[in-house]
Amino acid sequence: MTTIFMISGFSDIETAGNQSMKNGIKFLAEFGYQLKVFTFMPEDYPNLQDPEKVFPAGVEFHRLPRILSWVIRLGQKTKDFVGRQRDEARQSEEAQPFGNAGGYLREYNAMGRLFYLFFLFLLYIPVESFRVLAHSLRCRPDLVYGVNCQGAVVASLLGRLLRRPVIIRFHGVSVTEHDLARLRNRLLVLDEISGLTARADAVIVANDGTKGDKILRRLGVEEDKVRFWLNGFDRDDLVLPQGWHAGAFKRELGIEGKKVITMLSRLTTWKRVDRGIRCLHNLLKEPGGIDAVLIIAGEGPARQELEALAQELGVKESVRFLGGVPHKEVSKYYAIADVFLSLYDISNLGNPILEAMYFGLPIITIADGSTDYLLQDNHNALLIRTEDLPDELPVKVKQLLENGSLRRELGRNVKNTFNEKVLSWQERMKLEDRLIKGILGDGNNQSGLLSGIGSRGPGEQSGRKSPKHR
């Protein structure tokens, strides 16, 4: 049996949020690989799933022991204390509420970033490398697999020490062209650059709209090593409970008879949930305005600021902050939505967009090029340029809320696109299985395997059905 050491850094399997790591491990195990997963998250960290309840036999997790959990917690609190730009963020959003907030570097000031780099290079990399090397004395891997930038650095180092091939997988890319333009910015994202340029036999980067292929090319990564694949889609967690009814659920939430606008994301500044709150304010202040509610599913460091914004704008009673919703529960909130908004600064081609497509929701997002492979304006979504958001976003949302025929048309078209172009996670991981076998010499070398889009080619139909939008 082929043994894979997976080094995941600060990525882990969570009850809410991105499920890419969980699905990757699940299907690699089902394909017959033995996985030993090394994560730097402590065993008692909140929101983590129990691996023994999630995965089949053959998956072994190595988290930090509980006695060391204070290291992670202290590091996070210290970084927040010295680096969070809360006041600056609020002032900027008030001055330019619909403008671009600057992305990844926006969350922390230079001091916060420098503290993080100190923690990463002087603590995480040495400790995790030693921990995995010690384990390799008992069990030698056939392949080392790094996840995201933190895992990539350690995996690349261990691959050379153990003389084993290395695959690195990025769930997305946080670095932007702007970050690479100036030396100061490059220094502040040194961890990201170190991971993205780490030596590997193959690099898998999610086609999530963050333009990872272009960033890797800019950083000089060999193009024939890069697989630029769209994430798979997990249908198993998006099944509505038997006997569930949308009307009863809306009554339970106290929103019966109201139109529902939904946003789902981690609450960080660059994901711009504030734009949805401001849009709702504009809709409700109009004479005879639409009776609507904004549902926000997700947790994160910007929640306090967003709640304050809703209070300041007088829409607190019409904005529902759900916090982190377990992935098995999110289907209920998609099923009651009339409109889905995704208004990120950096990229909008993430799992929430795929999930909204699966449920056939009318989608409004930004025309920034990130969703071009899946979404076309006025065909299966409404796209708005960033500079036009102040004027057009409230108009487009109102148009959809008042026009049931348009909502149904966009919903039908977006479901058709989903069925044609989005792979299941099993199909997506079969590509990875072939890649691993090629690298290990167990099968044909797949050096050019779907390196462009990682999804169905034009004209191929899956015939799968997705649930109808209610």
Convert the pLDDT of each residue in 246-300 to its tens digit: 999 999 999 999 999 999 998 988 899 999 999 999 999 887 778 999 999 999 8
**Rounded percentage of the chain residues whose pLDDT exceeds 70:** 86
Token pair, residue 20, equals 């890419």
Instruction: Flag whether 447 is in a domain.
Output: no
Instruction: Flag whether 345 is in a domain.
Output: yes
What are residue 110's phi and psi, to 5 degrees? -60, -35
Query: If you search the block for the tokens 């995480």, which residue do you land on?
Result: 124
Q: 459 pLDDT exceeds 50?
A: no
Q: 35 pLDDT exceeds 80?
A: yes
Q: Rounded to whole angstroms, how far apart are CA atoms 364 and 348? A: 10
Please indicate, yes or no, whether residues 150 and 284 belong to a single structural domain of this protein.
no
What's at 227, amino acid-wise? R
Token pair, residue 61, equals 């997790």
Q: What is the pLDDT of residue 379?
A: 97
Give the structural domain span for 309: 246-421
Work out the pLDDT band at 80, boundaries 50, 70, 90.
low
Instruction: Flag whether 466 is in a domain.
Output: no
**Rounded percentage of the chain residues whose pLDDT exceeds 90:** 61
Please indicate, yes or no, whether residues 205 and 192 belong to a single structural domain of this protein.
yes
Contacts of 18 (CB under 8 A, 6+ apart): 171, 351
The mean pLDDT value for 209-236 works out to: 91
pTM: 0.80
Instruction: Flag whether 325 is in a domain.
Output: yes
Q: 79 pLDDT exceeds 90?
A: no
Instruction: Flag whether 308 is in a domain.
Output: yes
Instruction: Flag whether 200 is in a domain.
Output: yes
Q: Rounded to whole angstroms, how far apart are CA atoms 374 and 147? A: 26
Please indicate, yes or no, whether residues 215 and 275 belong to a single structural domain of this protein.
no
Q: How many domains does the chain have?
A: 2
Q: 99 pLDDT exceeds 80?
A: no
CA of 192: how far to CAs of 83, 281, 346, in Å? Answer: 18, 37, 16
Q: Rounded to whole angstroms, how far apart are CA atoms 28 and 19? A: 14
Q: 109 pLDDT exceeds 70?
A: no
The mean pLDDT value for 400-418 works out to: 97
Please indicate, yes or no, whether residues 87 and 227 belong to a single structural domain of this protein.
yes
Please indicate, yes or no, whether residues 311 and 415 belong to a single structural domain of this protein.
yes
Terminal C-alpha separation, the chain: 46
Work out the pLDDT band at 355, boundaries 50, 70, 90.
very high
Going through 188-240 in order, the beta strands assigned E by DSSP cover 202-206, 226-229
CATH number of 84's domain = 3.40.50.2000
Note whether 147 and 67 are within 8 A (CB): no
Q: Rounded to whole angstroms, how far apart are CA atoms 247 and 259? A: 12
Note whether 11 and 19 are within 8 A (CB): no
424-450 pLDDT, tens digit per residue, is 999 999 999 999 999 998 644 444 443
Q: What is the pLDDT of residue 94?
A: 42
Q: What is the pLDDT of residue 238?
A: 86
Work out the pLDDT band at 101, boundaries 50, 70, 90.
very low
Please indicate, yes or no, whether residues 331 and 397 belong to a single structural domain of this protein.
yes
The mean pLDDT value for 4-23 works out to: 87
135-164 pLDDT, tens digit per residue, is 999 999 999 999 999 999 999 999 999 999
CA of 325: how far to CAs of 92, 94, 264, 442, in Å? Answer: 29, 29, 9, 41
Please indicate, yes or no, whether residues 407 and 434 belong to a single structural domain of this protein.
no
Name all contacts of 120-126 with Cβ < 8 Å and 24+ positions apart.
120/150, 120/191, 121/191, 123/71, 123/75, 124/9, 124/40, 124/150, 124/154, 125/153, 125/154, 125/157
Instruction: Flag whether 114 is in a domain.
Output: yes
Instruction: Flag whether 81 is in a domain.
Output: yes
Compute the C-alpha angle 283/385/393, nearest 5°.
5
Q: What is the pLDDT of residue 234?
A: 82
Please indicate, yes or no, whether residues 341 and 251 belong to a single structural domain of this protein.
yes
Please indicate, yes or no, whether residues 194 and 45 belong to a single structural domain of this protein.
yes
- Does residue 109 or residue 55 have the better pLDDT? 55
Please indicate, yes or no, whether residues 262 and 207 belong to a single structural domain of this protein.
no
Q: Rounded to whole angstroms, how far apart are CA atoms 96 and 39? A: 39
Q: What is the pLDDT of residue 311?
A: 96
Please indicate, yes or no, whether residues 118 and 260 belong to a single structural domain of this protein.
no
What's the chain's average pLDDT? Answer: 85
Please indicate, yes or no, whether residues 294 and 355 belong to a single structural domain of this protein.
yes
Out of 74-78, 120-124, 410-414, least confident range: 74-78
Q: What is the pLDDT of residue 467?
A: 44
Out of 104-118, 320-334, 345-359, least confident range: 104-118
Q: Would you put residue 372 in left (φ > 0), alpha (ψ -120 to 50) or beta?
A: alpha
Q: Side by side, which strands form the sheet with 3-9?
A: 59-64, 34-42, 3-9, 143-147, 166-170, 202-206, 226-229
